[in-house]
Structure 1
C-alpha cells in the first residue's frame, strides 16, 4: 500500500492540476503512485487513485488505461469494457490505452475459454505434444494472474513447434507482452527467451 504521506503529496498534486495548473511533474507523480499501487497487488486502491486523477483530468489516457487495468485485475470486466467504450478515437491512439485494450481482450478471452487448468494439465501429461492443450492452459493461467507460467507454456510451444497453428503461440506471447508493458520483468525476460528461440 502507498504510505499516507505519499497519498497526501498525490492529492496535493491533484489539487494543483484541477486548479488549472499545467504541472506535468505533479501528474507524473500521481500516475506513478497509482501504477505502483496496482503493480504491488492492490488494484482496488489503484482504482481509487486513478479515479481521483480522472476527477481532476477526465480525459487523461494514462489514467483511463490504468483504471481499465485495475478492473481487469479484479476481474470486473464489464466495468473495464464500459470505460473503454466511453473513450474517444483520439484517446485510443495512446500507447497506454493500446496496452489496456490488449489486457482486457486477453481477460475476456480467458473468461470465455477453457479455464479448467487441471484438466488441461492432465492432457499435457498424457501427450506433451498436445500444443492446443498447452496453448489453452497458458491462456487460462494468464487469466488467473499466472503470467510467468503462461509465458513459459507459450515459449515451450515455440520451442517444440514454432509454426504450429500459424505461429499462434508467438502471436499470443506478443499480446501478453503488450498487455504487461515493455518494462515489466516478465516481458524483458520473455522477449530475450523468444529471440533466443528464433535466432539460435
Structure 2
C-alpha cells in the first residue's frame, strides 16, 4: 500500500468509519464529471440536514481522488450511495433517487438500528407524556388532554403522535375549525402518517355525529320502528356524540345486519371510522370487528 493509499484509508476511517460507530453514515461516491451525481448531491444534502438530529451524517467520496477506496467498495458506476453503521454496510440506497424514497428507507433503517441521536433521546422522554395524554383522552377528559398535548406540541411540534393527540383533543372539545386549520398546515410527510389519519377520521366522525337533545326519546322511537334506518343512524350519531361508543357500535351493527348496503354502506363506513379513531390495535375494536365479520360473512 502506497503512502497516498494509506492516507486515504486513514481519512476514510476518520471521516466515515469512526462516525458510523454511533451514527448512520450515508456514503456518496461521486465525481466532478458525473452529471447524475451533481443532480443527486443537493437532495442528499437536504436529507442529511433534515435527519441530522436523528443521527444521520453524510460523507462524500470523490472516486477520482479516492480510487483506492472506490476499488475496495467495488464501485463500478456512480452515483453510488451506501449506508454504514458500526463499520458495516447496512443498505444500498443507490436506487432511491427521490426525497420520499430516501426518507422511507432512512425511516426504516432508523427503526431497526440503535442509533444514538438527540431526537431518539427526546422521543424517549416524550413517550410517557404522550401515553398520559392518550389515557386522559381515552377517559373522555378532552379539556385536560388538550392542555397536555398543547404543551407537548410546544416541545415537539413535528412529532406525529403529539400532533395526532392534539388534533383528537381539539375534536373532543368540539373545536373542529381549529382542527381543520391544523390539519391544513401539516407538512406533507406528516399529513400521510397513520397517526394523522386516525385524527382525520376522528374529525370526520365528529362532523357527522350530531348531538341529540333527548337520546332516550329517540331510542324509544327507534325501538318502536326498527325498520326506520335513518332514525337508527341518527341515534348512532347521537350516541357517538355523547361518547357512548358501545351503544353507537351496537346501533351501527344493527343497521348493517338489517341492510348492509343501506345508504351506500354508510353504517359500515361509520363503524370503520369509529374503529380507526379508537385505535385498530385496541381490544374493543377487535371485539367489534369480530361482530361485524359475523354479520357480513356468518
Which TM-score tier does this pair reach, normalised by the shorter chain? Answer: 0.7 to 0.9
CA distance in 2, matches of 1:182, 1:97: 14
Q: Would you say the 8 A contact 1:148–1:186 is kept in 2?
A: no
Q: Partner of 1:145: helix, strand, or coil?
A: coil
Q: How does 1:1-150 map to 2 (within 5 A)?
A: 21-22=118-119, 23=121, 24-111=123-210, 117-118=215-216, 120-150=218-248
Instruction: Determine the C-alpha separation between the residues in 1 that align with 2:254 and 2:263.
Output: 14
User: Partners of 1:110 and 1:34 in 2: how far apart?
Assistant: 23
Assess if the C-alpha contact under 8 Å between 2:239 and 2:245 holds in 1. yes
Cα separation, 1, equivalents of 2:146 and 2:216: 32
Higher relative contact order, structure no. (Cα contacts within 8 Å, ≥ 6 residues apart): 1
CA distance in 2, matches of 1:39, 1:144: 14
Q: Which of structures 1 and 2 has the bigger CA Rg? A: 2
What's the TM-score once normalised by structure 2's chain length?
0.55
Stretches of structure 2 that go unaligned for 5 or more consecutive residues are: 1-116
Q: Provide the rounded CA distance (Å) in 2 between the counterparts of 1:165 and 1:40.
A: 32
Greater helix share, structure number: 1
1:34/1:50 contact within 8 Å kept: yes
**Aligned-pair Cα RMSD in Å:** 2.1
Q: 2:202·2:277 contact (CA, 8 Å) conserved in 1?
A: yes
Higher strand content, 1 or 2: 2
State whether structure 2 residue 275 is matched by structure 1 residue 177: yes
Given that 1:123 and 1:130 are in contact with CA atoms closer than 8 Å, whether structure 2 keeps it comes out as: no
Alpha-carbon offset, residue 100 of structure 1: 0.5
**In structure 2, C-alpha distance between the alignment counterparts of 1:107 and 1:101, rounded to whole Å:** 10
Equivalent residues, number: 180
List per-residue Cα deviations over 1:25-75 (Å, max 9, x = no partner). 222222212212222332222222212221121111111110111121122
Over 3 Å counting, the alpha-carbon distance change for 1:130 and 1:74 in structure 2 is: same
Query: Which stretch shifts more, 70-79 or 152-161?
Result: 70-79
- CA–CA distance in structure 2, aligned partners of residues 158 and 139 of structure 1: 15
Aligned residue for 2:272, secondary structure, equals helix
Asked if the contact 1:138–1:151 (Cα under 8 Å) also holds between the matched residues in 2, the reply is yes
Rounded Cα–Cα distance in structure 1 between residues aligned with 2:219 and 2:172: 24
What's 1:157 paired with? 255
Separation of aligned partners in 1, 2:209 and 2:267:
15
Q: Is the aligned partner of 1:189 residue 2:287?
A: yes
